[in-house]
Amino acid sequence: MVDLNAPAFLQSANKFGIKLGLERMQALLLKLGNPEKSLHAYHIAGTNGKGSVSAYCASMLAWDGKKVGLYTSPFLERFSERIRVLDGREGLLTWEQDDTYGEIDAKRLSELSDLVESKVAELIAEGQEHPTEFELVTAVAFLYFKEQQCDAVVLETGLGGRLDSTNVIEQPAATIITALGYDHMDRLGDTLGKIAGEKGGIIKEGCPVFAIDTHQSAVEAADAEEAKQVIEDIAASKHAPLTWVPVHAAERTSQNLNGQIFTYEGKTYNIRMHGGYQLDNATLALTAMKDFVSQEARQEGLAHTMWKGRLEAISQQPTIILDGAHNPQGITSFVAFTDEMETLKDLPPCEVIMGVMADKDVTQMLSILVENWNVPLGRITLVTPHQKRAMPAQELRDAWEQTLRNGFAFYNSSSCMYNAREKLIVVEESEVACRNAVDRAIRTGAPIYMIGSLYLLGEARGVILDALHQHGLK
């Protein structure tokens, strides 16, 4: 994803691609005076839920009165979203109302980028390899958090864990491992056990580990057991106390488009985010933060957490929900959400806007949609996100048609995907698709669901909000 307001030097490093390893990062940080050594960090890895769990933890720490640095990726709308400081309770409440609050300002981002660029020039002159974009941004984040004198820093890994550039943190306060799944298998390994080994690479000597049970709905039982054993073996070898957080431990008591209320370990909590998986993310964060913040901070921090693009209801009249469901687990969770929300089934037939990256398991994602979708369907608009890895909309249509042709049994079921082939529409430009969809939704009351790549959500979210504003809404 490109943000033209971000420093050119940082974005120019995209050409170096993704290269796992710590040597470049360690060399760069040494040149910068090792700012990471001063950070009191909470380190988070996993396949799904990293961003949400990071936001939950940062919000609890902020409500507890701490000045909290939050480092996440990728950004959704602005490059500066990746580096944020929440200054205590007031900072958290401001972020809840203004999603730009706390982001590193453009001037300081540029200045720190220039500093990092000067040190990279020294490395290159010494014959060392140029750092990747993620390594450069991580270095800027470390410098900024040290400069801001953060009491705590929540770090989300970029890819994997063991060789991720954030893994230069030597002694975090805690390490947290979210739900594991089959993603980035070309880089992290072709089994869940290998993936677990990479994610578990953030575990440090004697540092407490909190991990969600590996037995997830989209994971084979044998694979889940293998992954669990890998995490346990790493923790044991590091003498790191390991706490497993069971899935479905929270009991939901109510939900609507404003959020969910649930009970966990005898306490009642409220979250603004949707989906059953967010209950698991919340209980993981609650457990991890139990010994670090007050009970009030746990409850209020959760209640005031916001996280864009994950089953985000950005409008209720008309209903518009954005979900960065970009792999089979994400699609499974999205379908489960639409099935659980009975009020959605009473609305006119919906419109789905979808765009994906070509390197994802698109076939499995579509199979899950075809076999399980249970909300009246009006049309499926397919778009091409503005990203070089994007699957062209026409290829996505071909994949849809192939999936529908393969689903013979589906035609004898009650699925709302019956005759879906006739409802497939290609609109290359996401902006055109969004504005047209909003116009139709305002006329008919039909809900809009945008799913797929976070790159798509990033370029479309502002367009949808602008379209609503032009109609005098939102």
**Residue-wise DSSP of 211-261:** EE-S--TTS-HHHHHHHHHHHHHHHHHTT--EEEE-TT-SEEEEEETTEEE
Q: How many CA atoms lie within 13 A of 425 on its CB side?
A: 16
For residue 68, the tally of other CB atoms under 10 A from its CB is 30
Structural fold of domain 312-470 = Protein-Tyrosine Phosphatase; Chain A (3.90.190)
How far the first Cα of the chain sits from its last, in Å, is 26
Coil vs helix vs strand at 420: helix
Q: Where are the domains of the chain?
A: 8-303, 312-470
Cβ-count burial of 473 within 10 angstroms (0-12 exposed, 13-18 middle, 19+ buried)? middle
* Among 256, 287, 332, CA closest to 53: 287
Give CA–CA dist 383/429, Å, rounded. Answer: 6
Q: How do beta strands 350-355 and 319-323 pair?
A: unpaired
pTM above 0.85, yes or no: yes
Peptide linkage before 447 cis (omega within 30 of 0): no
CATH class for the region spanning 8-303: alpha beta
Distance in angstroms (rounded) separating the CA atoms of residues 459 and 449: 15
The CB-side HSE value for 114 (13 A sphere, CA atoms) comes to 5
Reading the chain (474 residues) residue by residue, the pLDDT tens digits are 556 567 888 877 676 667 778 999 999 999 999 999 999 999 999 998 999 999 999 999 999 999 999 999 888 999 999 999 999 999 999 999 999 999 999 999 999 999 999 999 999 999 999 999 999 999 999 999 999 999 999 999 998 899 999 999 999 999 999 999 887 766 788 899 999 999 999 999 999 999 999 998 778 899 999 999 999 999 999 999 999 999 999 999 999 999 999 999 999 999 999 998 999 999 999 999 999 999 999 999 999 999 999 999 999 999 999 999 988 888 988 999 998 888 888 899 999 999 999 988 899 999 999 988 888 899 999 999 999 899 999 999 999 999 998 865 444 455 677 788 889 999 999 999 999 999 999 999 999 999 999 999 999 999 999 999 999 986
